[in-house]
Structure 1
């Protein structure tokens, strides 16, 4: 019978070189079905960098990472019968055998030349990458380390600190680049690292900007939904009030009808008690005498001041309906002017407004309807139209109070000027 060259996992088919590997595989996967196999574990060695691969999958991954595609098959050279006995530990300290550490071998970070390490770090290389390069280049020089980095920059573990068994030594490979090439390569690596960092920062900034835009849209949508809900609540309340008024009018009409019927019944009962014949409903009742309408000697005014104030406020809002904040600020400013006059009618400073004042122009004067509203309240243009002035003897508190009520309604009612 042919000697077994490997152990094969009966659950997943993986080939393993030793009992130790089988035990590790069992711990990681919980597979427990192993058998001897005459098929040797592959030993495909990269002819460019010397990295061994145990399967076609590993060689494909290595080619993808490094671009190395030439491999030497040394499977038959290293194949030997597998030992099914677990090696016994000795009383002496663990030692390195055949270049590989035993199971309990202590692993440490190798010592490297601190001066060379500082030089590489100043050039922009990470500490882990610089340490690994110095160790595997035998601490020979900065140029040798950069040469090693250039050859292994695509290794997946390039930025991991190397761990080696105690007392392990590795011969320094000979630099494959000239000093001039090393300088050029170092500059290329630094430039590549700088561009990579800039690209990462740009990507991060774009993501932050997208997040800010998303949050802004969510806030605007939440505000729109809240405004829609507020309008719906107002319309529901309005319809409920109108329905209640309609029901009250119908109930009032039914009550008047009941009273009329009761009066008719009482009248018929009195005629019956007096022995009079019932009233003939077909006989037409005499019409009520016409009342001559009195004509007032006072002139008829087309609209009250309150209606005029309300019309100008509606005009102001409808002509600036795309800027609710500006309209609301104008209403609040007008409310302040009217309130000051109501509280202190004797103070002239509250009854005089400079029309070309920048603050007044920005808040009220530039909006058609604001100055006209004040004129309805009693303010007059004086001094060639430079000021608006409300004379003390023309302060009508009823008009001022009515103006305050109209402005308050315009401020708190979101549908003012719409319905």
Structure 2
């Protein structure tokens, strides 16, 4: 069987003629060609009529256009190959060279096309370069002609490159090869593709926006949980501090009760004419007292002085618990008014002869002493208690408020 193609021994490509072999050699520098009885495929698309010379090319065409039906016309196009190089017409070659030189010398510009038609093609989803190239080579006549050209040349490697032509060059419009019905179907198909592409882009953007909103909700939720955790931790610390203070107060109360019991026991022994306990029994406590005497004595703080003053007030009037609690609440009111309004003189000045003050605080031993620890001073011959503005100490007032609050709420406060 005679050879119907040339096969490249380096890459296996089938070529239809010597001219194609020469072009292949120039592009790839391959030089090993042999005659082959295997024909170059000729697969023609039934939808648009585009010929494909290999299965790979037909697959690419299907991927670009969605056309899947092809007619195999390889046997019709297969002819014995001529191994003689084509003769070159010297005159024609000279004329082509002159034309090429003239084209190179001429200024290359982007051809002028109808801008409205370009905008319509861009709205259909085509790039500016593809729309310009289609209008230029279709004669800049109509949208239909441009779409027809795009359909026929969509596999061209330079279809998305802006065309350049010598200045003052005109290209005649080729006749459309599709029927009006086919052209209308193609237009509808291209519009549908552009619509689907736009919808897909909108869905993608909506997914991204929803993801961003979800991330924002997660971030806000984490911040709220963290704020709640911090608030709960602070509340837990406050309760622990309050319980610790209450336990300390209970411990002191128990120690005082124990001390009182020891004193009562000693008093009973004395009344019964019994001798006091032997020194040996009390020796350990004496040793402890001696050891304690060597420790440095820390001066009592104002908070401790206030606590002792309130304890003394309750001890002195323990038979009237309601009156004591009312005195504590009245003192808390005086201290709170000064703390909230330190610049108001009316809250910093108390008339000692005031009947309400006397009934609630003044007549109870320890009430006036507590106010003096807070900074109040007697003025005008002892007629008023006055706290000068420059001697208002918020720390002292806060301590006074804490001690009064503890005395009111703690049932063990000042048991003895």
TM-score, scaled to structure 2? 0.42
**Which one has a larger percent helix, Structure 1 or Structure 2?**
2
- Structure scoring higher RCO (CA < 8 A, sep ≥ 6) equals 2
Q: If the length of structure 1 is used for normalisation, what is the TM-score?
A: 0.42
